[in-house]
Amino acid sequence: MAISNLTSKAVLLYDEWIKDADPRLEGWPLMSSPFPTTFIIGTYIYFVTSLGPKLMENKKPFELRQIMAFYNFSVVALSLYMTYEMVRTCWLYYFSKFIELLDTIFFVLRKKNNQVTFLHVFHHSIMPWTWWFGVKFAAGGLGTFHALLNCIVHVVMYTYYGICSLGPAYHKYLWWKKYMTTIQLVQFIMITCHIGQIYIMDDCPYQYPIFMFIIWLYGSMFLVLFLHFWYHAYTKGQRLPKMARNGISKDQ
């Protein structure tokens, strides 16, 4: 009986909470509840940290250069489109985070398990999950600046990865590899500073200020993680030849 009462209360709380969702998202794929997103992310984490490596343990690495080249340049095109149409593409930005889960899938299939780092998996897991709530309840407005900036950074990043995936003959064009981490660091500094204005506002007009604090926390957290990477990779000279994507460049 106690369990039944708790379940009923949980359902009532959920119904009360979800009624404040943006009605424009009614009927959109994956937006009915947070559970499909949570399931996809859970499946992703299980595959890249457990099932995938086990399946690949006694198999030869897949040769995925052509697929990866197509994938990387497709993400460049998608990021350019979202940069141009950001006001109308909050949901598309959210959905693009599922596409980017393929980054890690490719690592696993190519047996590059050393690139499946905590920073990489955490970044890819938390983005679609947090963005579901942002799109569902507060699409647009002040909270989209970091998405716009991230799209611009992804144009640069996936152009690099796309050229890299074309093969060694094209690596001579990647002289700007050393600037990749710097670009990512500048991104998180700008996100943290921009959203930090919430602390000096007398009255925040954004409909759900809680999302502003979440974005600030997210930007600050990744700024610290990337600075930690920068310190060990460059200041202490411990940079590995094959560092994980979303930590710096990678060997494709």
10 Å CB burial of residue 248 (0-12, 13-18, 19+) is buried
Catalytic residue among 120, 123, 124, 146: 123
Residues 21/133, Cβ–Cβ less than 8 Å = no
Q: Is 141 left (phi over 0), alpha (psi -120 to 50) or beta?
A: left
Tell me how far CA of residue 92 lies from CA of 14, 38, 78, 193, 252, in angstroms: 25, 17, 9, 25, 27
Annotated active-site residue 171? The verdict is: no
Phi, psi of 34 (to 5 degrees): -75, -5
Residues recorded for the chain: 252
CA atoms of 108 and 179, how far apart (whole Å):
26
Write out the catalytic residue numbers.
Answer: 123
